Structure 1
Amino acid sequence: MPTHGWKAKLYQFVEFVTMLAVLQLMWIGMTIMGLVIVGITPATVGLFITMRKRLRGQEDLKTLVKIYWKAYKEEFIASNKIGLVLIGIGYFLVVNFRIVTAMPGTAGLAMLTIMVMIMVLYALIVMNIFQVFAHYELPFTRYFSTSVLLTISFPLQGAGSIVGLYLLYRVFLIIPGLLPFFGISVTILFLTWMSSKIFKMKGEMDGTLETENGIR
């Protein structure tokens, strides 16, 4: 393997792209293996955990594949519990949103505004909670409270994540051929990178270190 010059950079780029494609294919395979319904959440959580390891310096693809498979198996039940709660809350919000949209007058408009704000907060929590799960080892209910706290405490980072997701959406819209190979992996890598900034700031604010108990 070349260690200097443009050949080394090209090799690193090809290796990085290969890693993204392999992890994407694993996500698809693990989701299908779980019959989609119970496979998509652990596959997604496992990918967040794996991408976090990648950003922390783990570059060997074979090791990352092993980390992904191990995370998928170990977090299968816990991640599906989180998924079920999120689905339940989402269903409740959708039902209430449909009721509110049918309400006339000023009161209906006020309720609609509140519901939209709640649904935006819910979307941000969904975006953050799997990253919290990948970063911390917490009691089950604290994943939700911690996700809410981080969402409220770092609104600019949340807005940045939304802008980044929109830009990725535009890229995949322009080049749809990238979606099957890089759609999920690139998106989760971006969200993991954004959340790493939040966790670093939170650690600095709390005076904690990455070696602290409760951090994966």
Structure 2
Amino acid sequence: MDLQGWKGSLYRFVEFVTMLAVLQLMWVGLTILGLVVFGISPATAGLFVVMRARLQGQDDLRSLAKNYWATYKAEFVNSNKIGVILLVIGYFLILNLRIVLTLNGTSGLFMLTLLVMITILYSVMLMNIFQVFAHYNMPFTRYFSASLLLSISFPFQAIGSVMGLYVLYRLFMIVPGLLPFFGVSITVLFLTWMSSQIFKLKDASEGTLKEKMS
């Protein structure tokens, strides 16, 4: 449909909003399909892949949905390896935090400071790892270090991502009705957009782009 003027702009906006809602519903469905625990990682990884494709100009919803499903199946095992490791690390961080909070004195303060620093690094890794996974083809263990190096190498991008996530959090608290339909899809779109320029620069110099879209 070739519409011009405000009608064309309105049509593209409605189409874009529909895409976000459909991908969000697919994320929910695919997460449930994997019994939540084993579904959330491949569903999230697949969403990053299709959002990257959308930013690169692929705007056909049917193709995006088809590629989402294909990525979910193809990366189910690999993405779950990442998810399980992240889950284990998060569990031990929470467990250690409960223990450290019972300590007093200088040793307790030192351990708490150390744990907070580790938690910050974990949060940074959690924010970036599926972006790296969707974009680069590398050995499995390198995704963890690469996600940390991404933020260390580009601190302003990391700070901007955190600030943007906070703004989105406040938005969803003010308008909670948006969360079920756009919460995850908008968040992933924002993170993908923030990292896209950095990846382009790195890809141009390294030539290691991971193409998962057919």
TM-score by length of 1: 0.93
- Determine the structure 1 residue equivalent to 2:170: 170
In structure 1, distance between residues paired with 2:201 and 2:98: 38
CA distance in 2, matches of 1:89, 1:29: 26
CA distance in 2, matches of 1:136, 1:180: 30
Asked if 1:80 is matched to 2:75, the reply is no
> Among the aligned pairs, what percent are the same residue?
64
Q: CA deviation at 1:152?
A: 1.6
Show the counterpart of 1:35.
35
SS in 2 for 1:21: helix
How many aligned residue pairs are there? 211
Asked if structure 1 preserves the Cα contact closer than 8 Å seen for 2:58 and 2:64, the reply is: yes
Q: Does 1:157 align with 2:157?
A: yes
The answer for the alignment partner of 1:193 in structure 2 is 193
Distance (whole Å) between structure 2 residues aligned to residue 49 and residue 165 of structure 1: 19
Give 1:144 shift: 1.0
The Cα shift of 1:202 comes to: 3.3
Name the SS for the 2:141 alignment partner: helix
CA contact (8 A) 1:124 1:151 kept: yes
The residue that corresponds to 2:210 in the other structure is 215
Kindly indicate whether the alpha-carbon contact (under 8 Å) linking 2:203 and 2:209 is maintained by their aligned counterparts in 1: no
Deviation per CA, 1:158-192: give whole Å up to 9, x if none. Answer: 11111111111111111111111101100100011
1:51 and 1:156 map into 2 onto residues whose CA distance is 22
1:16 corresponds in structure 2 to 16
Distance 2:170 2:145 in 1: 32
Give the corresponding residue for 2:6. 6
Matches of 1:44 and 1:55, distance apart in 2: 17
Name whichever of 24-33 and 190-199 sits farther off. 190-199
Aligned partner of 1:44 in structure 2 is: 44
Q: Map of 1:54-203 to 2, 5 A cutoff?
A: 54-203=54-203
Superposition RMSD in Å: 1.3
- Please say which of residues 98-107 and 55-64 is displaced more in the overlay: 98-107
| Structure 1: runs of 5 or more not aligned | none
Query: Residues 104-156 of structure 1: CA distance to partner in whole angstroms, max 9, x if unpaired?
Result: 11221122112111101101101100000000111111111211211221222
Question: What is the alpha-carbon distance in structure 2 between the residues aligned to residue 161 and residue 214 of structure 1?
Answer: 22
For 2:35, the aligned partner's letter is L
For structure 2, the 5+ residue unaligned runs are: none
Residues 13-65 of structure 1: CA distance to partner in whole angstroms, max 9, x if unpaired? Answer: 00000000000111111111111111111111100001000001100111101
The CA deviation at 1:4 is 1.9
Measure how far apart 1:213 and its partner are. Answer: 4.2
Give the Cα separation in 1 of the matches to 2:3 and 2:136: 35
Check whether the contact 1:2–1:11 (CA below 8 A) recurs between aligned residues. Answer: no
Instruction: State the distance in 2 between where 1:139 and 1:24 align.
Output: 29
The whole-number CA distance in structure 2 between the counterparts of 1:6 and 1:61 is 22
